[in-house]
Structure 1
């Protein structure tokens, strides 16, 4: 690696090192996501990793890592503000002294990702910090459960997940000529797929969100009920169906990866539908590795069938 980087000019060398760092961040957190990015065409892989590395860094800041490092709540908010400022500067200049931000900035400038997407993302991240800075504590100093009503949920999911889907779509479509009608369909599908992913993860992480973080993203009440679980499964399936409908309109070198991610989360939704509500608080539902391999093959076969049609 050192010999290869040494052949580059200083900015190219720093950019390549930053993008490798982004890839290491992703690899450390999600084997499934790492698999999905390997299924992307070569022109998309690094860009999508750069997007998700920034998302992961911000998410870890607001989801407890800073707290575990004994960073005070006000300092966490300042750190998030600083991160957003670094991103804004990288969008303007294409450079940041923060390698993850630098990698994201290069992708953003190449794909047309701008503040209309990064702004809502950081707004949702800031909502999570409100748990520790704005919530009232009881006599023991324990922060009460923060429940999201329908409007708060929709705003949070848009910023935390739907805009990330839109960022990835801009990566996929950066070299494409698409009509406004096609782009509108693809953007709707990207938003719906991002929302489905987020809502599925809310169900999977129910115990951690409520017990460790004090958040109730899916219900304004204190506890999930079987009725609410069923309602969310219905919502998720509708979101996945909308996303599936536009998969054939994606560029060919993005379809297998996105299709595989769609199948993985559709499988998770099916397993969550069969999981008793009380068990959502005791175990995290996951798809077994052999099933992931099956879903990958099915996604590749779907692409072949589409090519023959």
Structure 2
């Protein structure tokens, strides 16, 4: 009997202890990263310049202020951006123009763009100088690579994106034609205009006289333009003006300064110089020559596809 009582007492104690025990389950939010390292603001300000790597970024819907920027910087609560290639490395002491402000909360970045509005990003550090900005509302992911101004290769960015430089002026006016070279039809063309790829082409030319107001220029011709590399010379490019009729024009393209280009026509030996008129400072997605064709950066592969599509359309029309 005593043994039975002892057994019952032990059983009751075990039941009491079991009933008092509650299993605590802690749910971990998979989207919240535990970070014992530097704060987001420290990460953003560790580098003076963040290059926006469009080719490495992804998403079907763009964030305009990032899509148009070559670089962004985060300085004391303000966002700076280099949206233009003309003056790159000099505008704003290399930082570009002030385009908005920002706040950080944990690893969340709230960006307030002066013209494009407010955007919230989840930020993930990919490496020591590489971060990803993820915009949950659109699914867009932007890869930013950090540099200091004194080590950032502004020239590399300029020449890798020189086709955008040609679009930064409303028109290019011919200011010089060399005495050397054969007489040819291009001698009569005094204005060029370069546009994002559109339905009928992406460049136009005019024979209007020098000094014509840009808004009054009559564009006689249009077609497709393409800029290609010259093997072995990074700073030398070729420009092809593929007119919407069988003849094309081929040039060696040299940039003289931030508003002057030189075109050497290979077939005739003639050199031309053009100066940009009507500088376009890109600040918002509706800037530029057409609200339906804003200056937004595209992947290199996409640009080539668009050019090939325009060429195919031209070839079909000429049949």
Which one has the bigger strand percentage?
2
Which one has the bigger helix percentage?
1
Per the normalisation by structure 1, the TM-score is 0.26
Per the normalisation by structure 2, the TM-score is 0.25
**Higher RCO (CA-CA < 8 Å; seq separation 6+):** 1
